[in-house]
Amino acid sequence: MGSVHLQPLKAGCSDQRVEIEWSDGSHSRFDCLWLRDNCRCDDCGDPAIGYRRLRLTAIDPDCKPRALDSSASGLNITWNDGHRSFYPSDWLRQHSYDYDSRAARVFKPVPWDSALRAAPPEFDYADVDGNERGLFEVLQRVRDHGLCFIANAPREPGIAEAMASRFGFPQESNFGRVQDLVFDPGKRSIANDVEALKPHTDEPYRASPPGLLLFHCVSNDQSGAGASLFMDGFELAERLRGEDPEGFEALCRNPQRFRRHFENEVDLIAEFPILSVDEFGNLCGIRLNDRVAAPLAIPSQQLRVFYRGLRRLLEFAEDETLMHRRILEPGDIAIFDNHRILHGRSDLTINGRRWLQWIQIERGDFYSSLRILADRLGLERNADPLLRGAYG
Ligand SMILES: [Fe+2]
Ligand SMILES: [Zn+2]
């Protein structure tokens, strides 16, 4: 990719496919139906806003070029029904759909290594507050590593919502819009649990689990208890793949059922694989939270290997050498991808003064903000490969 200035040397059509030879000697093939369907003329739609006027049902499935010619700028086609289309060279290159082109375009996550674990990306609030470039860099780190910290924010409630609103819309759920995690014996909350919380992803029992999570530490436990833990779920998954490819495969192929039931309020059930991979085998999501796992219902011949893979993955998730451990300071913000990063905490003292504000942002809004910020800053977007999420 990236070779933006290639030109088509020749173009020809056979077997309902247009073949283009590029100036670097490479070839691309486009099906006639695909080309007709993606006509970029004003009658067929407005590609600039992503709007299509042309209906697939209005296209002749056997459409063919009556005339075809290539110029330095692209490909001209006059169709057998007289309709005329023009496809710019760069656009054709960017949308080539052969295996290698698709494989080159997808997001290839780089698992954490020990250097990243020791010092995950961190910015100072002063460099992000009111600064679009700073915000863009934070979001890029979240995209690339799943996690980014912002330190030295004001120590007051409301900061989380103000920060989250800069790259999405806080999502409301049965827990509310802004969740206050604070020790309060009068409320049913995980914040009251003083035991350690093993690293996990949040709410896998939802059809769409929270995408990005942002939390802000308003105050913390003076005793120093209650460190936050973060792990790269993809690093754990890659370790499993290296050790036990069959166990890995079983977790990609079979669904795990998850459930959260609060009587007379919600009964959320979802069934998705614990590991999601794309067609090239790249990881694109993880749902790992055995506290809310429901009974498995998978083919019996898969059961043993599934359990073997899951047990090993959970062992990795308990391995302290794979965790980033951080005692949050008041004013610390963490932003992370809940479809990649596991979070947890070590135990709290019962009189903890720990107060966190949590917000969730939909992943589509997060990626949209990355693209729009890049446009506004005049930077290359570089945000199109995206992590699809834990959707199987
Ligand atoms: Fe959680
Ligand atoms: Zn058209």
- Cα separation, 286 vs 136, in Å, equals 25
Q: What is the pLDDT of residues 169-224, one digit of tens each?
A: 999 887 788 998 887 767 666 666 667 889 999 999 999 999 999 999 998 866 65
Residues with CB under 5 A from ligand 2 (ion): 39, 41, 44
Starting from the CA of residue 82, give the closest ligand. 2
pLDDT at 227: 86
pLDDT at 351: 59
Mean pLDDT of 14-23: 95
Percent above pLDDT 90 for the chain: 83
Task: Kindly tell me if the per-residue pLDDT of 289 is higher than 90.
Answer: yes
Query: Boundaries of CATH 3.30.2020.30 in the chain?
Result: 8-105
Starting from the CA of residue 84, give the closest ligand. 2
Starting from the CA of residue 291, give the closest ligand. 1
Mean pLDDT of 384-390: 86
Given the candidates 3.30.460.10, 3.40.50.300, 3.30.2020.30, 3.20.20.70, the CATH classification of the domain at 8-105 is: 3.30.2020.30
Point out the least confidently predicted range of 34-48, 167-181, 297-311: 167-181
Mean pLDDT of 240-244: 98
pLDDT at 349: 60
- Answer with the residue of higher pLDDT: 47 or 78: 78
pLDDT at 58: 95
Cα(259) to ligand 1 centroid in Å equals 15
Query: Boundaries of CATH 3.60.130.10 in the chain?
Result: 114-377
pLDDT at 72: 86
Task: Kindly tell me if the per-residue pLDDT of 249 is higher than 80.
Answer: yes
Starting from the CA of residue 179, give the closest ligand. 1
Edge-to-edge order in the sheet of strand 355-361 = 122-124, 147-151, 333-337, 212-219, 355-361, 179-182
- Answer with the residue of higher pLDDT: 330 or 351: 330
Mean pLDDT of 317-321: 97
Residue 279's pLDDT band (boundaries 50, 70, 90)? very high
Starting from the CA of residue 52, give the closest ligand. 2
Mean pLDDT of 114-127: 98
Cα(211) to ligand 1 centroid in Å equals 13
Mean pLDDT of 364-381: 93
pLDDT at 382: 67
Percent above pLDDT 70 for the chain: 93
Edge-to-edge order in the sheet of strand 197-200 = 197-200, 341-345, 228-232, 324-326
Starting from the CA of residue 197, give the closest ligand. 1
pLDDT at 181: 84
The structure tokens 């014996």 sit at 185
Cα(200) to ligand 1 centroid in Å equals 6
DSSP single-letter state for residue 174 = T
Mean pLDDT of 287-302: 97
Cα(375) to ligand 1 centroid in Å equals 34
- Cα separation, 141 vs 238, in Å, equals 20
Over the chain, what is the mean pLDDT? 92
Residue 353's pLDDT band (boundaries 50, 70, 90)? confident
Cα(69) to ligand 2 centroid in Å equals 16
CB count in 10 Å sphere of residue 43: 9
Cα(87) to ligand 2 centroid in Å equals 10
pLDDT at 224: 59
Give the largest CA-CA distance in the chain: 79
Cα(2) to ligand 2 centroid in Å equals 27
Cα(14) to ligand 2 centroid in Å equals 21
Cα(39) to ligand 2 centroid in Å equals 5
Starting from the CA of residue 201, give the closest ligand. 1
pLDDT at 134: 98
Q: Which of 82, 54, 53, 57 shows the shortest CA–CA distance to 67?
A: 82
Cα(261) to ligand 2 centroid in Å equals 52
- Cα separation, 382 vs 379, in Å, equals 8
Cα(183) to ligand 1 centroid in Å equals 15
Class of domain 114-377: alpha beta
Task: Kindly tell me if the per-residue pLDDT of 299 is higher than 60.
Answer: yes
Q: Which of 173, 194, 195 shows the shortest CA–CA distance to 183?
A: 194
Cα(342) to ligand 1 centroid in Å equals 8
Cα(92) to ligand 1 centroid in Å equals 43
pLDDT at 3: 47
Task: Kindly tell me if the per-residue pLDDT of 88 is higher than 80.
Answer: yes
Starting from the CA of residue 336, give the closest ligand. 1
Residue 1's pLDDT band (boundaries 50, 70, 90)? very low
Cα(53) to ligand 2 centroid in Å equals 9
